[in-house]
Each structure stands twice: as structure tokens, then as C-alpha cells.
Amino acid sequence: MSGGPWKKSESGKLWNLYLSGAELRSIADALPRQSVAEIKLRVQQLTRNERDLAVRYEPFHRTSRKGKRLNAREGAILAEHKQRKVPLEATANLLQRPVSEINEDWKQVPEAKSLAIFAPTLDVVMAHRYLYHVYKTPIISNKAYDDLFKEEVEYGGGGRALKELGKDGFWGPTRIKTLALYLVQRYEDEHGKPPEKIKVPYRK
């Protein structure tokens, strides 16, 4: 039996629970007027932006997700919205995040961290900093670099080493230069061109 038109309060609770990772059955229990099938349908409709529902979505009693790690459900919505050319502002509104957290930069952090298979994250951060300040050819955005830097300082234990970077011409061990060269060559292989030179502004 249909629960009828969605109330704004129900819609707000649905997205707060769904984006936090709650199972559909648990969401249905929290919204007794709606069934699991109706909840699944509602999520699909906004994920696919059917009838411009995502573009016209108005948040009500929503919990901000600013600063939280992007999860698989948000990633699926981002991918679908990108394919359907939904404006970033509308996607950010649905996810309750600032636009800066859902632009292309978010993809660069896991891509950069994938190098941890053979190089510690600290070395990867140092190599990207070397590319930025010495070669002046960054291959990830400032936002992606800042996220890597902060994560290593807070959780990786590399804060002390990173604070020494750049002092008195010190840019780390020789392997950092080797890793930086590898990153540039890989970029050239993947993009068919070298990264662009920049004028270096401030980067910690």
C-alpha cells in the first residue's frame, strides 16, 4: 500500500538515514508510512534526477555532511548525477555538502593514495610537494593535496617530517625525487602530455 505523497519531514529523515549508511529496512521502520519498496524508489528517483526531482529538491531538517568522508552511496549519486549532467549545486544540496567537497578533486585523493601499495603515504605527500615547489608541475589540485597532507599529519604520524620540508633546501631523501619523476612520467603516459608549469603560490 502506498504511503502517499512524501512529507518534507519524511524526506529529510530518509536522506539523513540513507546517506549515513542505514539499511532500507531500518529506514522503513523509522518512516512507518513508507515501505522498503517506496523508499528504494524515492532514492532511485533523486539519484537519477527523474522529472528534475534532484534539481528541485528542498532540504528540510537535514543534517550537514560537511567534512565527513564520502561513502559509497554518495559516490554512486555523484557518478549518476555527473552522467546525467545534474548541476553540482543541486548534487551538493541533496548530499548536504559544500560544492568544494564534491567537485573532481575528491577523486584525486584515493587515486594518489593508491600508490601506498609500494610507497608510504608520507613519501607520496613529499613527492607531490616536490613536484609543486621544485618542478612547478603539480598533478593534483591544491584541495586534493591539502586533504592528503592533513590526513598524514593527523593519522599517519608524518607531521614532524612534513614540517621539515623546504627548510634550508631540504626536500627529503633521494627516493622522493625518484618518486616525483615517476609520478610525472605516469601522468604523461596517461594524459599524453606533460603537466603544465605554474607560478607557485603558497602551499604548506
Tens of pLDDT, residue by residue over 12-62, are: 999 999 999 888 889 999 988 888 899 999 999 999 999 999 999 999 999
pLDDT of residue 117: 47
> What is residue 122's predicted lDDT score, i.e. its pLDDT?
81
The answer, yes or no, to whether residue 180 has pLDDT greater than 80, is: yes
Q: Model-level pTM greater than 0.85?
A: no
User: At which residue does the C-alpha cell 539519484 appear?
Assistant: 47
CA triple 193-199-204, angle to 5 deg = 105
How far is residue 60 from each of residues 10, 41, 126, 141, 192, measured CA to CA in Å? 9, 19, 43, 33, 46
- CA 60 to mean position of chain CA atoms: 24
pLDDT of residue 163: 66
Q: Where are the alpha helices (DSSP H) in the chain?
A: 8-19, 24-30, 36-47, 72-83, 88-95, 105-113, 121-130, 142-151, 159-164, 174-191
- What are the tens digits of pLDDT across the range 74-107? 888 888 888 888 998 999 999 999 888 887 655 5
**pLDDT tens figures, 61-70:** 999 998 887 7
Q: How far is CA 24 from the centre of its chain?
A: 24
Asked if residue 28 lies in contact with residue 20, where contact means CB atoms within 8 angstroms, the answer is no
- pLDDT tens-digit profile of 147-162? 888 777 766 566 666 6
**C-alpha distances in Å from residue 128, one per residue of 7, 110, 156, 158:** 48, 14, 16, 15
Dihedral sign from CA coordinates of 54, 57, 61, 65:
positive
